[in-house]
Amino acid sequence: MAKIAKKETPLMKQYNAIKAKYPDALLLFRVGDFYETFGEDAVKASQILDIILTKRGAGSESETELAGFPHHSLNTYLPKLVRAGQRVAICDQLEDPKQTKTIVKRGVTELVTPGVAFNDDILHSKSNNFLASIHFDSSRTAGGDKRIGVAFLDISTGEFLTSQGNVEYVDKLLQNFQPSEVLISKKQKLTFTEDFGTDFHTFFLEDWVFQADYANETLTKHFKTKTLKGFGIEDLYEGVIASGVALHYLSETRHNQLEHIATISRIATDDYVWMDKFTIRNLELYHSTNANAVTLINIIDKTISAMGGRMLKRWLALPLKQADKIKQRHNVVSYLVDNNTVLEKIQSHIKHIGDIERLISKIATGKVSPREVVQLKNSLEAIIPIKSLASESDNEALKIIGEQLHSCDLLRERIKATLNEEAPVNILKGKTIADGFNSELDELRDLSTSGKNYLDAMLERESERTGITSLKIASNNVFGYYIEVRNTHKDKVPEEWIRKQTLVNAERYITEELKEYEAKILGAEERISIIEQRLFEDLVLWMHQFIKQVQQNAHLIGQLDCLCGFATLAITNNYKMPTLDDSFALNIRNGRHPVIEKQLPLGETYIANDVYLDRESQQIIMITGPNMSGKSAILRQTALIVLLAQIGSFVPADEANIGLVDKIFTRVGASDNISMGESTFMVEMNETASILNNISERSLVLLDEIGRGTSTYDGISIAWAISEYLHEHPAKPKTLFATHYHELNEMTETFGRIKNFNVAVKELKDNVLFLRKLVEGGSEHSFGIHVAKMAGMPQQVLRRANKILAKLEKSHSSEELTDKVRSLKDDVQLSFFNLDDPLLEDIKEEILTTDIDTLTPVEALMKLNEIKRMLVKKKQA
């Protein structure tokens, strides 16, 4: 018998129609009190959420996998799905099932993706959650490079930023902003992975979205402006396209209430110290290759609020270049360090401030709960004493912050009058609106409670009157309130009671009195709930006018929290105020590494070191020393001290005078990239090349063991050539070069501004003692074998290594090596013209003694040939 295909049920038909619109999202389909997933979605959901996978319509044509969870667990399960990289479409019931006889209307109310999220369980309070969009335009170039537009948007805070530049620049921004999701055109998929790798969570959009006109229209429509001129971004052609794409994506994911995204700013890169992505990584500012390692942000983050935490990350990513702005921050920190009680008071109030930036975003998008609105009010209340402390201080910058903080009186008063202090998270739980705010609500509440009391009293009275001890009063949807009597007491029922229903063990009756009260009570609670929701919605809508003020408060509290954090940091870690000026010198006295000094085993103290660099006499310091002696620590602490100073913090040093730095470059000789399968040396050279092409007069360059990724000869030659280039470059960038190659100490004889230093060690009989002190002078040899010993290498290997070393040091090959190196300095072939070259002198002589007026064309050609021969001879020699 032919199998008859069963028809799709209406529910599955509705599901399939909705799913077809969101093919790449996992669809959570609300059915009654559950969110259900079907088919492949169910398989994925059951794996990610560890929930049971079952079958729907088993054995039928429409059999499909099914997995679901109760609707009230959405906040638990949704973050897990999003963190697992899923895009989640939430499909809700759009009407009350009680009000409809046919299938309930359903539709997607929100599409949650990693970059577009509000849920507190998905977001990290001290980190932004950026959605990025990228637009490549290879037809337009910037200095020969591709030009790329980029936008960053955090829907949870309302921040919206844009910029454009070449691959290196955009790569650095991606590294700084760490977006949770990156939008790219489908056509540019490959280009993106070629330029930025595969580490980002990406989503691909249709190409038509990436159009200048469409972007302009989307942005101006959103900001309700005619042009983008007011934002200073209209000349960022690609940046504007990327920004338009980000906004477009928000509407595609059903986010249409975006009043909190009130402005878009240009990332003004010229205002900040340039650090490329290698530097950010090498200095371990936020991340480390070792997951357990402590990073700089871990040490310096003493902020209390979420706004402060996020602001500090931004400050660290974008250190300042303008001395006056930096000094203003130092000035406030200094005031707070000296006025400890003010600091403590401000911080004690900041503790009571919630994430007002995200709370106000939730208000704009209508996703706020009653309890959160009360939280917002309490946070704004905590700002009042901060405002007075700051305004009354005798520090100018602090006063300005105090004056700019809004007291938001009207807003606070209205929330206080409207909401119950103990308002619930879920408005349906009731008791959201304060007593005395709305008379209708008050009456209904009275009725509801007095009605219940009345019923209780009635129950007692009737039990007594009739002598029926099993009396019960309850209600149902069919005939409302009733009195229930057990069969055993049936004969005691008064005549006037009207029997409505007979059950197995009991009978149900209604009475006149019950009917009267029912009319009043029935529905009172439902009406209470409706009024509460309406009043709450009105309040939230009314609050929209305060979005800007609250955002400004959030911003100012973020700043103040960072500055207070710097003061705490200075006090607890003994940091000192640096001085900054427009000179080119860097003078650090007793500097320390902010992270290592906090990691040392108990009892050990960090050995502080002096570092001096300028453009006149000590431009490049060649630091030699054995492995593990502390070379890298000196390099990094120098960069970190400059960085800390320029973000406005005090620094781990007794004294630091810093000529403003505008770029920091650090490169570490390759050794860890082998696992990536690339030529490590190639990586190292690529990275170094980008420094050499970008240095400026105010650059600080740190090179750590550059050249070690290849053979010794190659390594020394390259290290030499790089140092020589930096020395001869007109920018004369300040440089620290840590190296194993003590042969490089020879350079100082030829290059006046290169100075040798070494990290002192004390050689014991068969061991070395690390003194960790940077002292003048080069070092004679490496100490690798001692370190091998420290690492617990077998004695046999150590003895053999010592023997070979002794041999090599005496042998021909060792001398050859040194000779070769020595000869380098006689053979300085600079890319910049060496005017002392004797050949140049000869050629000059030839040309000067030639009388051009009497020279025939043939003679001129012969002269040229003669000069050519001189050059060829020299080359052959």
Ligand X SMILES: Nc1ncnc2c1ncn2[C@@H]1O[C@H](COP(=O)(O)OP(=O)(O)OP(=O)(O)O)[C@@H](O)[C@H]1O
Q: Give me the residues that bind ligand X (CB under 6 A), please.
A: 596, 606-607, 625, 627-633, 772
* Minimum gap (Å) between residue 630 Cβ and ligand X: 3
Task: Give the list of residues 6+ apart from residue 751 with CB closer than 8 angstroms, or none.
Answer: 620, 723, 724, 727
> Count of CB atoms within 10 A of residue 67's CB?
22
Residue 632 marked as a ligand binder: yes
CB 709 within 8 A of CB 667: no
Q: How far is CA 459 from the centre of its chain?
A: 63
Residue 244 marked as a ligand binder: no
**Alpha-carbon gap, residue 175 to 161, rounded angstroms:** 15
Using CB positions, name the residue nearest to ligand X: 630
* Minimum gap (Å) between residue 774 Cβ and ligand X: 9
- 331 or 782, CB closer to ligand X? 782
| Sheet of 506-510, strands arranged across | 472-476, 480-486, 506-510, 498-502
Task: Give the list of residues 6+ apart from residue 395 with CB closer than 8 angstroms, or none.
Answer: 331, 332, 335
Residue 628 marked as a ligand binder: yes
- 281 or 486, CB closer to ligand X? 281
* Minimum gap (Å) between residue 647 Cβ and ligand X: 23
Residue 626 marked as a ligand binder: yes
* Minimum gap (Å) between residue 633 Cβ and ligand X: 3
Residue 715 marked as a ligand binder: no
- 370 or 626, CB closer to ligand X? 626
Show the tokens assigned to 354: 């919630």
H or E element in which residue 378 lies: helix 370-392
Q: Tally the C-alpha atoms within 13 A of residue 45's C-alpha that lie toward its C-beta.
A: 28
Residue among 302, 349, 299 nearest 565 (CA)? 302
Residue 630 marked as a ligand binder: yes
**Alpha-carbon gap, residue 404 to 205, rounded angstroms:** 42
* Minimum gap (Å) between residue 780 Cβ and ligand X: 16
Say if residue 495 is exposed, middle or buried (CB neighbours under 10 Å; 0-12, 13-18, 19+).
exposed
Residue 657 pairs in a beta bridge with 579, 587
- 536 or 606, CB closer to ligand X? 606
* Minimum gap (Å) between residue 607 Cβ and ligand X: 4
Q: Enumerate the H helices of 302-369 as residue ranges.
A: 306-317, 323-338, 340-350, 356-365
**Alpha-carbon gap, residue 287 to 290, rounded angstroms:** 8
* Minimum gap (Å) between residue 275 Cβ and ligand X: 20
Q: Are strands 106-112 and 159-165 parallel, antiparallel or unpaired?
A: unpaired
- 315 or 783, CB closer to ligand X? 783
Residue 436 marked as a ligand binder: no
CB 801 within 8 A of CB 785: yes
Give the Å distances, CA to CA, from 516 to 380, 481, 630, 792. Answer: 48, 10, 89, 92
Residue among 238, 134, 145 nearest 186 (CA)? 134
Residue 627 marked as a ligand binder: yes
**Alpha-carbon gap, residue 855 to 530, rounded angstroms:** 107
Q: Give the SS3 label for residue 465.
A: helix
- 359 or 738, CB closer to ligand X? 738
Q: Which residue reads 């427009």 in tokens?
A: 582
- 153 or 611, CB closer to ligand X? 611
- 448 or 632, CB closer to ligand X? 632
- 302 or 742, CB closer to ligand X? 742
**Alpha-carbon gap, residue 595 to 640, rounded angstroms:** 10
* Minimum gap (Å) between residue 632 Cβ and ligand X: 3
CB 132 within 8 A of CB 182: yes
* Minimum gap (Å) between residue 602 Cβ and ligand X: 13
**Alpha-carbon gap, residue 469 to 505, rounded angstroms:** 15
Q: Is 32 left (phi over 0), alpha (psi -120 to 50) or beta?
A: left
Residue 737 pairs in a beta bridge with 622, 703
- 313 or 631, CB closer to ligand X? 631
* Minimum gap (Å) between residue 788 Cβ and ligand X: 11
* Minimum gap (Å) between residue 629 Cβ and ligand X: 4
* Minimum gap (Å) between residue 765 Cβ and ligand X: 22
Q: Enumerate the H helices of 467-523 as residue ranges.
A: 512-521
* Minimum gap (Å) between residue 596 Cβ and ligand X: 5
SS (H, E, C) 554-568: HHHHHHHHHHHHHHH
Binding residues: 625-632
Binding residues for ATP: 625-632
